[in-house]
Structures are given as C-alpha cells and as structure tokens.
Amino acid sequence: MKKKTKEMKAIVMFQKGGTPQYVTNFPVPNVNNDDQLIMTVQAVAIKHLDRSMASGTHYSTEGDLSHAKVIGGDGVGLLEDGTRVFALGVTGTMAEKALIDKKRMVVLPENIAPAIAAALPNAVAGSAMALLYRADMQPGETVLINGATGFTGRIAVQVARLYGAKKIIATGRNEQSLKDLLELGADAVITIRQDDEGFIEQIKNIHQATPIDVVVDYIWGHPAEMILEALKGEGNFTHRTRYVSVGSMAGDKIQLSAAILRSVDLHLTGSGLGSWTKEQMKVLLTEILPAMLQLASEGKIRVDVETIGISDIESIWKMEVADGKRLVALF
C-alpha cells in the first residue's frame, strides 16, 4: 500500500507575477541529509526581498502543487526537541513546516516574542554587516543613515549607536518617523521632502562641522546623488568617507560625476550576500544575531511590528505597512 504524503498549510506561488495563495494541502518537506532539520514555523517576516522573489523573478510555475513554491526565506519556529530558533530556510518558510540547515540557525532568548525574533534578523544583517564589514565603522565616528525611516534604517540607527557612533544623522521622507529617530539614537534628522539645494546645503554644513565618516544608504537614487554632491571637495585635502549602498528604494541607478570621485577621498561599496565572506556570514549567525536578539529581548532595541494570521496573506500581500514597521505572519 502506497504511503500517504503528509500535507500542511502553506503560502505558495503558482505562477510568475501572481499573488501568493494560501493552501492547506502542500506536501511537507523531507529531510535529505544529517545537516537538515524540520522546523515547526511560528512566525515569518514579510520583507521586500520576499515580495520581489515572489513576483516572478525566481518562480515560474504551471499551477499545480508539484511545481508551486513556498515563499519566505527565513523564520522563527520550534525544532522537534522544543528548541526555539530563528533559521534560514532550505525550503520556503511561510508554511507549517520548513526544512532548515542546522548551521544556519540561531537559538532564541527565552522571553523574546516570535514576531520580534522573526522581524529583527534581516534588518540586523542589513545594518550591522554594512557598518562592521563594508564600512569598517569605528567607535567615535560620524554616521549618516540615508533612508532611516524604513524598518531596517531605524534598526541601523540603533545598531550604529550600540557600536559607538559619536554622531548619527538620519534622512527620510516621513516626518513623524524622523522625529521618532531622535528618540532611537539619531542626533540630527534631515527630510528629503525639500528642495535639492536645501537638502545638499544641510549635508554640507554637517560635513564641514563634523566630517561624515560613514554613509549607509537604503534608498540610493536621487537622494544618493545629492549626498555625493554634498561630499564633493574643492581642491583641498578631504576627509575620507566610506559610502555603503544597501538598498535602492529610490532607484537602482544614479548619475555620478567623475569630478566627485577625483575631489574627495571616497570609498564606495555595497553590502549584501554577495559582498560578505563565508567567515563574516558565520560571525553574523554565531555572534551578531544572538547578541542583537538578546538586546531586543531586554527592550534595548526597539522593534516595531504589525502581525497578521498566515491565512490572511493573500488579502494583504500588497498592503503598505506604516513606515518603520515590519509585517509578520503568525502561525
């Protein structure tokens, strides 16, 4: 007699460019080697990355369950022995069960809420790795966070402060969120909702008074062009600024004058999976994330989330979440 395949509830993408669908009969994944474990999922953050992957860039299916893909790249859940972990998924994580790699998981502090634990790690990766490894930030330096009103930007402000930044400048569009950033550790905020001349002048004035050592940029596009213009030198020796691109919400391409590169001691780089070494990724999982999750469990890092039930994802998939919050699906 043929053994019946175990089934589970899951959020799957059936065809390129479609909307993820909630199903109750998706096959439970199987463990394929000794490095893999099954995690019973409790919470999954819905990130820009998840939405872009589910839009069709990576998934091309024909509409039946044998070709559909479970979405979600990471999540929080329980191992068979009851250990609660955050883990990167071998299979999609927006499902009752997910296959994970035991080398790519973090045991969680006892009193951290599942939604907080699911939301924080991606933002830590998008901030701590940029600050530590791509910018080589040192205690006492001045840091500018461009696009700080988004979820990862708000975490970046707090991480920069934890890592000893002397002064933190935050830019963004949302006026209320900019005010909140002053409570989270920013020393100065600059709105992008002003004319270009005013924005550039504010950056120039700050740079002249307290030279900017590090820029971590989550939006790129025209705001990046203005910041780079503000850093432009005038033929004299200049301060060295390390500029790290992490996101591109304001546009994927910029116009960069060669005169800027020749007139300022500028180190321009990016931060993402392709820019990190295996050793740095190991440090993220074994040292950085455990430390940040512990701080969040103690209320020393503020993490703002909005939660939904997993069965509601279809209806809210394209919903805009309030600036500074992360949407988390709960099982």
| Domain limits for position 28 | 7-107+301-330
| Whether pLDDT at 60 is above 50 | no
| Whether pLDDT at 320 is above 90 | no
In this predicted structure, what is the pLDDT of residue 150?
A: 94
5 falls in which pLDDT band (50, 70, 90)? low
Q: Are 91 and 202 in the same domain?
A: no
Average the pLDDT over 249-262 and give the result.
Answer: 94
Q: Are 262 and 142 in the same domain?
A: yes
Residue identified by tokens 């707090």 is 158
Q: Are 137 and 270 in the same domain?
A: yes
Reduced to 3 states, what is the DSSP secondary structure of residue 164?
coil
**For residues 79 and 107, is the Cβ–Cβ distance under 8 A?**
no
Q: Burial code of 270-296, b = ≥16 C-beta within 10 A, e = fewer?
A: bbeeebbeeeeeebbbeebbbebbebb
Residue 112 lies in a domain: no
The total domain count for the chain is 2
Average the pLDDT over 275-298 and give the result.
Answer: 97
Average the pLDDT over 234-263 and give the result.
Answer: 93
Q: Are 225 and 271 in the same domain?
A: yes
Q: Are 15 and 146 in the same domain?
A: no
User: What tens digit of pLDDT does each residue of 104-142 get?
Assistant: 999 999 999 999 999 999 999 999 999 999 999 999 999
In the chain, the percentage of residues whose pLDDT exceeds 90 is 81
Q: Are 80 and 178 in the same domain?
A: no
Average the pLDDT over 6-33 and give the result.
Answer: 88
In this predicted structure, what is the pLDDT of residue 67?
A: 62
Q: Are 133 and 231 in the same domain?
A: yes
Residue 116 lies in a domain: no
User: What tens digit of pLDDT does each residue of 63-109 get?
Assistant: 444 467 899 999 999 999 999 999 999 999 999 999 999 999 999 99
Q: Are 95 and 21 in the same domain?
A: yes
Residue identified by tokens 């809210």 is 316
User: What tens digit of pLDDT does each residue of 191-233 get?
Assistant: 999 999 999 999 999 999 999 999 999 999 999 999 999 999 8
In this predicted structure, what is the pLDDT of residue 190?
A: 98
Residue 119 lies in a domain: no
324 falls in which pLDDT band (50, 70, 90)? confident
Residue 306 belongs to domain with CATH number:
3.90.180.10
Domain boundary among 275, 290, 312: 275
In this predicted structure, what is the pLDDT of residue 57?
A: 41
Residue 293 lies in a domain: no
Residue 292 lies in a domain: no
List of residues 6+ apart from 59 with CB closer than 8 A: 13, 15, 16, 53, 69, 71
Residue 211 lies in a domain: yes
Q: Are 36 and 89 in the same domain?
A: yes
**Separation between Cα atoms, residue 226 and residue 229, nearest integer Å:** 5
Q: Are 210 and 94 in the same domain?
A: no
Q: What is the rounded average pLDDT for all residues in the chain? A: 91
Q: Are 216 and 250 in the same domain?
A: yes
In this predicted structure, what is the pLDDT of residue 3?
A: 52
Q: Retrieve residue 302's tokens.
A: 């503020």
Alpha helices (runs of H) in the chain, residue ranges in sequence order = 48-52, 114-129, 151-162, 175-184, 196-209, 221-231, 258-263, 278-283, 289-297, 313-316
| Nearest Cα to Cα of residue 36 among 82, 94, 110, 97 | 97
Residue 282 lies in a domain: no
Give percent helix, percent strand, percent coil of the chain, each to the nearest 5: 35, 25, 40
**For residues 149 and 323, is the Cβ–Cβ distance under 8 A?**
yes
Residue 102 lies in a domain: yes
Q: Are 129 and 268 in the same domain?
A: yes
Residue 157 belongs to domain with CATH number:
3.40.50.720
**Dihedrals φ, ψ of 79, to 5°?**
-80, 170
In this predicted structure, what is the pLDDT of residue 313?
A: 84
| Whether pLDDT at 242 is above 70 | yes
